[in-house]
Amino acid sequence: MSGIPIRLEACSKTFDDGTRALHPVDLSIAAGETIVLLGPSGCGKTTTLRIIAGLESPDAGGRVLFGTDDVTAVPIEKRNVGMVFQSYALFPNMTVAGNIEYGLKVRGMAAADRAARVREMLAMMRIEPLAQRRIDQLSGGQRQRVALARAIAPRPRVLLLDEPLTALDAKLREDLRGEIDRLLRSLAITSVYVTHDQAEAMALGDRIAVMSHGRIAQIGSPQDIYFAPADAFVADFIGTMNRVRGAAADGRLRFAGGWLPLPAGAVAGVAAAAATAPACLTDVMFRPEDLHLVDAAAAQFAGTVLSSFFLGDHTRLTLDAGGEAPLVARVQQRRRFDGGDTVHCAVDPQAVLALRPAAT
Amino acid sequence: MLLCQISDTHIKAGRKKAYGIVDTATMLERCVRQILALPQRPDAVIATGDLVDFGRPDEYGLLRELLSPLTMPLYLMMGNHDARDGLRESFPDHPYLRQWAPFVQYVIDEHPLRIVALDTVIPMQGGGELCAERLGWLDRTLSARADAPTVVALHHPPFVTGIGHMDRIGLKGADALAQVIARHPQVERVIAGHLHRPITQRFAGTVASTCPSPAHQVALDIARDAADNYVLEPPGFQLHWWNGRALVSHTAYVGEFAGPYPFRVDGQLID
């Protein structure tokens, strides 16, 4: 099985009541690539997936291409896509093998070929012992493995997964996430995966498209998205971000607790603004793991511990550094922190981000 | 809880007219617009079969498009013109279509009124049937929640209408269905389609009814030898209102009609 590239050209979606679910989106997905559409509910990720599936048609002018085929007007059952949804939608009164075989039967595959393909799918999903079980005898995780096998069995050109793990509990979610990752890599099938869970997105996506208000806010590798978020929305949505407001001058951002280094790229713009408005207030952001505890002499700012949670491999601190909101730090010192302790902090210049506000 | 019933939409691919006359696609569009313009928004819509004309995927593709403005939950059912696999493949995002196999029978528990949908289809035949397997499922399903007010929906009505040519493609197993329904007094109503007309009959201690079509209606001729004809009477749909005590059913007509006009001026009936 190998994938084909997918291209969306100016695909927008306006519902009959005038709601704009999706602003014109252009998106190219490479053959065999796994792309994750990530965002909060209402961001347009599911609408995008449904347009690729053929469950929704884009507004006039939008085009969906599978390779060189324009499939915009092709109905879902002719697009040859495999789909996995949050709800399993398996026949409860049929066996596991029967459920996997169903789609092959519908497509008119001969009995011997069907049996061979079902065996192959059972092996691939490591569920051979379950072949003759009924669906209502399976756990949620086992059911979702069957749903994956069923979707893949007819050798679809594209695999679409809509929040497939959302209904499962945390531990199972992690196991199955690993399983899906292994599967997508070994099949090299072009896949689109919709989720609101950033950990899933980071683990599975070759690239992640972070969506907000019907637009793609940023698209890139998990590393791009995490280390170089395009705007404050992306930064806030992926992982935890500390935000500090202060006055920028001389390459530093001064605030109540002390100062932070301004990132090199931001200095020019901020300095120019500062020239015209001397008390220019600006926001910068940094990740909890980029806050380091240092000696008082080397400190950029000081903070008071508000709370500390020892989590084994690290300690999560919330600090009052005189800013509007407390700061979160993820530190690995082997010591105990108590509320009221004073800690001395520094952040590397390259870890500080000066971001444009989120697009609205 | 307001349950809107539409039935017998008979969509054809490429918006082709049914029987060369009936523009079923445009008529369904009008019906959908009217449902959305109702002063009370239905909580769910159920389509009681004969969704398309020949059970073809391209017909279901157009049906999907025509129904897409409906933002409330939509439940699709099998009629004698439908195909089980075609329906399921074209609506993969309707998981209830896979609650049972081979029959497209399902139960919806997420509303104050429980909805139980049956599949009466015998492939390639106009008439319908409820076999022991389907009725067994119904009996078990109704037993599971004896306290929940329930509407049972099926395409072929379980009674003789008097319109001879339709009765000849009626339902086998209606008596057995009556025995099951009679055991479950929480069934408030048995709703059906197939007849393209609103018709009611007392049935197994409850009421059984059929729904008009948003397209063509079967000619009203209560005769054994009635001609197999349809008429373009006002198209319609039904609203089943569960008020917490009883299920009250209204038939609505699709079209532009004069009015509304007031009955009174200054509190006085207009003379």
Q: What angle do CA A91, B185, B181 make, to 5 degrees?
A: 55
Comma-separated ranges of CATH 2.40.50.140 domains in chain A: 242-351
User: What secondary structure does DSSP assign to A163-176, as a single string?
Assistant: STTTTS-HHHHHHH
Q: Which of A278-292, A339-353, B30-44, B121-135 has the lowest mean pLDDT?
A: A278-292
Query: Which helix (H) or strand (E) element contains residue B242?
Result: strand B236-242
Q: How confident is residue A357, by pLDDT bands cut at 50, 70 and 90?
A: low
Distance from CA of A80 to the nearest CA of B (A): 11
Nearest Cβ partner for A77 among B65, B89, B98: B89
Q: Is A106 on the interface with B (CB under 8 A)?
A: yes
Note the pLDDT of residue B102.
Answer: 93
Q: What percent of chain B has pLDDT over 90?
A: 97
CB contact under 8 A, A76 and B92: yes
- Whether residue A1 is predicted with pLDDT greater than 80 in this model: the reply is no
Cis amide linkage into residue B234, ω under 30° from 0: no
CB contact under 8 A, A88 and B95: yes
> Given the structure tokens 């599978």, which residue do they identify?
A66
Measured distance CA(A350)–CA(A260) in Å, rounded: 11
Distance from CA of A17 to the nearest CA of B (A): 8
Q: How confident is residue B140, by pLDDT bands cut at 50, 70 and 90?
A: very high
Comma-separated ranges of CATH 3.40.50.300 domains in chain A: 6-237
Q: How confident is residue B197, by pLDDT bands cut at 50, 70 and 90?
A: very high
Comparing CA positions, the residue from A169, A183, A121 lying closest to residue A146 is A121
The rounded radius of gyration (Å) of the Cα atoms in chain B is 18
Q: How confident is residue A3, by pLDDT bands cut at 50, 70 and 90?
A: confident
CB contact under 8 A, B101 and A102: yes
Give Cα B224 distance to the centre of its chain: 24
Q: What is the pLDDT of residues A90-102, one digit of tens each?
A: 998 899 999 999 9
3-state class of B197 per DSSP? Answer: coil
Q: Is B110 on the interface with A (CB under 8 A)?
A: no
Note the pLDDT of residue B14.
Answer: 94
Q: Is B65 on the interface with A (CB under 8 A)?
A: yes
* E-assigned strand segments in A241-350: 242-249, 252-255, 258-261, 281-286, 291-293, 301-310, 315-320, 327-331, 342-347
Nearest Cβ partner for B93 among A85, A90, A102: A85
Mean pLDDT along residues A318-323? 92
Measured distance CA(B73)–CA(A41) in Å, rounded: 18
Is residue B241 within 8 A of residue B218, CB to CB? The reply is: no
Q: Which residues of B touch A88 (CB under 8 A)?
A: 95
Q: Which residues of A touch B109 (CB under 8 A)?
A: none
Comparing CA positions, the residue from A139, A130, A140, A180 lying closest to residue A159 is A180
Mean pLDDT along residues A127-138? 93
CATH of A242-351, one of 3.40.50.620, 3.30.750.210, 3.40.190.10, 2.40.50.140: 2.40.50.140
Q: Is A15 on the interface with B (CB under 8 A)?
A: yes
Mean pLDDT along residues B140-159? 97
Q: How confident is residue A231, by pLDDT bands cut at 50, 70 and 90?
A: confident
Cis amide linkage into residue A349, ω under 30° from 0: no
Mean pLDDT along residues B55-63? 92
Note the pLDDT of residue A173.
Answer: 87
Q: What percent of chain A has pLDDT over 70?
A: 93
Q: Is A349 on the interface with B (CB under 8 A)?
A: no
The token pair that represents B93 in the structure block: 């995002």
Measured distance CA(A221)–CA(A234) in Å, rounded: 13
Q: Which residues of B touch A91 (CB under 8 A)?
A: 98-101
Q: How confident is residue A280, by pLDDT bands cut at 50, 70 and 90?
A: low
Q: What percent of chain A has pLDDT over 90?
A: 66
Note the pLDDT of residue A282.
Answer: 81
Q: What is the DSSP letter of A357?
A: P
A-B interface: how many C-beta pairs under 8 angstroms?
Answer: 56
- Looking at per-residue pLDDT, the higher value among B159 and A174 belongs to B159
3-state class of A18 per DSSP? Answer: coil
Q: Which residues of B touch A98 (CB under 8 A)?
A: 101
Q: What is the pLDDT of residues B159-177, one digit of tens each?
A: 999 999 999 999 999 999 9
Note the pLDDT of residue A263.
Answer: 78
- The interface residues of chain B toward chain A in range 72-91, judged by CB-CB distance below 8 A, are 85-86, 88-90
3-state class of B66 per DSSP? Answer: helix
Mean pLDDT along residues A270-286? 64
3-state class of A310 per DSSP? Answer: strand
What's the pTM?
0.85
Q: What angle do CA B196, B201, B205 make, to 5 degrees?
A: 135
Measured distance CA(A219)–CA(A28) in Å, rounded: 11
Note the pLDDT of residue A315.
Answer: 94
Q: Which residues of B touch A89 (CB under 8 A)?
A: 92, 95, 97-98
Q: Which residues of A touch B89 (CB under 8 A)?
A: 76-77, 106
Note the pLDDT of residue A279.
Answer: 52
Distance from CA of A75 to the nearest CA of B (A): 6
Measured distance CA(A318)–CA(A338) in Å, rounded: 11
A238-253 burial by CB neighbour count: b if 16+ within 10 A, else e? beebbbbebbbbeebb
Q: In what order do the strands lie in the sheet with B187-192?
A: B106-108, B114-117, B150-153, B187-192, B206-210, B199-203
Q: Helix %, strand %, coil % for chain A, to 5? A: 30, 30, 35
Q: Does the model's ipTM exceed the 0.90 cut?
A: no
Q: Which residues of B touch A15 (CB under 8 A)?
A: 69, 71
Q: How confident is residue A277, by pLDDT bands cut at 50, 70 and 90?
A: low
Note the pLDDT of residue A343.
Answer: 95
- Whether residue B113 is predicted with pLDDT greater than 70 in this model: the reply is yes
- Whether residue B261 is predicted with pLDDT greater than 90 in this model: the reply is yes
Q: Which residues of A touch B57 (CB under 8 A)?
A: 75, 77-78
Q: Tell me how many helices (H) and strands (E) chain B has.
A: 6, 17
Q: Considering chain A, what is the average pLDDT of its residues?
A: 89
Mean pLDDT along residues A13-39? 93
- Whether residue B178 is predicted with pLDDT greater than 60 in this model: the reply is yes
CATH top class, domain A6-237: alpha beta
The token pair that represents A234 in the structure block: 């992306």
Mean pLDDT along residues B89-96? 93
Note the pLDDT of residue B122.
Answer: 97
Nearest Cβ partner for B89 among A16, A56, A106: A106
> Given the structure tokens 């009124």, which residue do they identify?
B113
Q: Which of A124-138, A346-360, B108-122 has the lowest mean pLDDT?
A: A346-360
Measured distance CA(A194)–CA(B152) in Å, rounded: 36
